[in-house]
Structure 1
Amino acid sequence: MSLLTIRDLHITYGAGPTAVPAVRGVDLTVDPGRKLGIAGESGCGKSTLALAMLRLLPATARLSGEILLDGEDVLTMKWGRLRAVRWAGASIVFQGAMHSLNAVHRVGDQIAEPLLVHRQASAAAARKRVGALLEQVGLPPSRASAYPHELSGGQRQRVMIAMALACDPRLIVADEPTTALDVMIQAQILRLLERLVTEQDISLVMISHDLAVLADTCDRLAVMYAGRIVEEGPARDVYDAARHPYGRALSAAFPRIGDPASRLAPRGLPGDPPDPAALPPGCTFHPRCPSALETCRSEDPPLVQAAPGHRAACVLTPGSPA
């Protein structure tokens, strides 16, 4: 059985005629011990989807569909059960650790908090566990006494990962965990996440705008555009041979080491994702799509199989009803 199953998830902000659709009919699964990457430009709904997995969205959000964690629907859990699931069943690593950590508390106390609340650990046991967690993420236990501003960006991100691991969750959701880090530290954090999920048999959902990072880190990759999944499949297949024009554009936007063509003529994608409050009719990508057909202006194609285990939502995909 899949550890995480998302079925027909819709998320809107506000209500009535002014409601803004942020996520539109998403279906995804994550098996135990596997790593799923979710890619897309800013404004495509990635972070909204990540926060929904643990029901962390504001009260203005309206959700329908199912988010099944170990068979239980997160959207219908009572608050007591939801509080128990957070940290212990699934945890999240937010982007921007400096903004996520409490500036007036030592990092060791912040890592210990879920242990004290969810595990009812004694103060001595919590301190011992904090030291072990810091060593696990490559920091000396003595850094537990530091305040967030006394740590570098990479060290703060390691603290966030240690906190996420505190109660031995089965699923970690990492929302842009390497944002604002330099490339060397980014590589260290990514290798750390990979090692930890492999050693502890944890499932990982990783959110990023960087398709290359996700392809190198994850088993499967989903590409979001305007709140929808437009492509999903094995990570290297999506990166190397995307079947949706948007997936190809994302892949081509990053120069590849050793490829003179991509280095000398990097390609981008003109324009911006549509305003969720004013989505175009038909395929929402058609105003920016270099391969758009007339039918794309009126028909929004469903996800269909483009290759074994690989789906794409494009009228040019073999097998598409359009």
Structure 2
Amino acid sequence: MTTTTGVTPQAGAGGATSLLEVRNLRVTYGTGPTAVPAVRGVDLTVESGSKLGIAGESGCGKSTLALALLRLLPPAAKLSGQILLDGEDVLTMKWGRLRAVRWAGASIVFQGAMHSLNAVHRIGDQIAEPLLLHGRATPGAARSRAAELLEQVGLSAARADAYPHELSGGQRQRVMIAMALACDPRLIVADEPTTALDVMIQAQILRLIEHLVAEQNISLLMISHDLAVLADTCDRLAVMYAGRIVEEGPARGVYDAAEHPYGRALSAAFPRIGDLASRRAPRGLPGDPPDPAALPSGCTFHPRCPVALDSCAHDDQELRDVGPGRRAACLRAGTPIAVGTAGPTEPMSGTAGPTGAVEPSS
């Protein structure tokens, strides 16, 4: 994709060029005193050829963030900040330019393939549609390209004549990936691409995405609630809670030793192969993410945090450096936390303070 604004793409860590750079992105639904903040000042970078994962529970703002990247949100959503794609701000693009960027500059694999595919059109026609809309092929050539893409994602070219209901869930998800690849984008945003699939098909789809991204040198931003999936697929990982990034760093490092208590809770929520204790008693996190319309004061995670201090109830935390390539928004980050044998979310030893938070022993 060609930059038309004269903005030079920024260099990331190690001199790599930032393909996508999100700066202080805020998304609210509605206006005035009833406005609901869904994304609250997110900053993130996806370098060319890299894979970034975003993790968090349902309701933390992941899908809103994904849709905001290409301005796919409804009119009720108000956006501010910057979304720089190859140095060009998506939020200030005119409609014609934005239409040209979608599919060709960046594309999205949605989590519900059956809801994204048109039930009354053959899948070959739906894969060919972006090629025709962007003037990249004649109808005949677009049809041939659709057949090639189907084979590329592990389906027979003959399936081009099938309707969505004639395919399995895994096959429909492969069709969505083929559509996302049709116009040779530089960035693919995968929003929970395997959520509705069984574990065997999920593994196949993840390996397919990983292979295609590596083979075609495409950048990937993958969204999931499963840290294990992201740690196995992505280079870096960002943990999102209540509309904000609360931790980011190398994917395996965040998964194995998260600095933020929420990251540790997400990691411990799934049993690990070879870890008998976690298989017998996977640890979760009580409660639910806060309602965006009624966020608690201070650190939004403190009502659920097993190691919260009294000050967390009124002092919010910003992301800060806590190690090489690591950032976290927590007072505890960068300091040792006593961990018991039950798992990485074990509270620090101490007594409960007046707010019910755990205070360290003297």
TM-score range, shorter chain: over 0.9
Which residue of structure 2 lines up, in the alignment, with residue 54 of structure 1?
70
Q: Is the 8 A contact 1:119 1:167 kept in 2?
A: no
Specify which of 139, 154, 158 is matched with residue 142 of structure 1.
158
Counterpart of 2:290 in structure 1 is 274
Structure-2 residue corresponding to 1:205: 221
* Counterpart-to-counterpart distance in 2, 1:44 and 1:126: 39
Kept in 2, the 8 Å contact 1:244–1:314? The answer is yes
Q: Name the amino acid aligned to 2:80.
A: S
Segments of 5+ residues of structure 2 without an aligned counterpart are: 1-16, 336-362
C-alpha offsets along residues 251-299 of structure 1, whole Å, 9 cap, x if unaligned? 0000001101111221110000000000000000000000000110011
Is residue 85 from structure 1 mapped to residue 101 from structure 2 by the alignment?
A: yes
Aligned to 1:264: 280
Structure 2 counterpart of 1:43: 59
Which structure has more relative contact order (CA 8 Å, sep 6+)? It is 1
Q: Which runs of 5+ in 1 are unaligned?
A: none
Aligned to 2:146: 130
1:16 to 25, 32, 43: 32
Instruction: Write the deviation string for residues 17-47 of structure 1: whole angstroms up to 9, x where unpaired.
Output: 0000000010000001100000000000000
**In 2: Cα distance, 1:38 partner to 1:119 partner:** 33
Match of 2:180 in 1: 164
Q: TM-score, normalised by structure 2?
A: 0.87
- Matching residue's letter, 2:316: D
Using the aligned pairs only, state the percent identity.
82
Tell me what 2:124 maps to. 108
**CA deviation vs aligned residue, 1:180-209 (integer Å, no higher than 9, x gap):** 100000000000000000000000000101
- Bigger shift: residues 278-287 or 302-311: 302-311
- Give the partner amino acid of 1:102: N
CA distance in 1, matches of 2:68, 2:139: 32
2:316 aligned with 1:300? yes
CA contact (8 A) 2:191 2:222 kept: yes
* Counterpart-to-counterpart distance in 1, 2:156 and 2:166: 14
Cα root mean square deviation, aligned: 0.8
Residues 85-137 of structure 1: CA deviation (Å, up to 9, x unaligned): 00000000001100100000000000000011103411111111011101100
Q: Map 1:67-78; keep pairs closer than 5 Å.
A: 67-78=83-94
1:25 aligned to which of 30, 37, 41? 41
Please list, as runs of the form range in 1=range in 2, the aligned pairs for 1:173-252 lying within 5 A after superposition: 173-252=189-268
SS in 2 for 1:132: helix
Bigger radius of gyration among the two: 2
Matched position secondary structure for 1:186:
helix
2:286 is aligned with what amino acid? P
**Structure 1 pair 145/284, CA: closer, same or farther in 2 (3 Å)?**
same
The letter for the 2-side match of 1:218 is C
Alpha-carbon distance in structure 1 between the residues aligned to 2:279 and 2:170: 28
> Which stretches of structure 1, 4 residues or more, deviate above 4 A after TM superposition?
none
Cα contact 1:22–1:227 (8 A) shared by 2 = yes
Partner secondary structure for residue 120 of structure 2: coil
The residue aligned with 2:7 is: none
* Whole-angstrom CA distance in 1 between matches of 2:143 and 2:31: 46
Q: What letter corresponds to residue 50 of structure 1 in structure 2?
A: A
Are the aligned partners of 2:259 and 2:334 in contact in 1 as well (CA < 8 Å)? no
Please report how far the alpha carbon of residue 179 of structure 1 lies from its aligned counterpart in structure 2 after TM superposition.
Answer: 1.4
Count of paired positions: 319
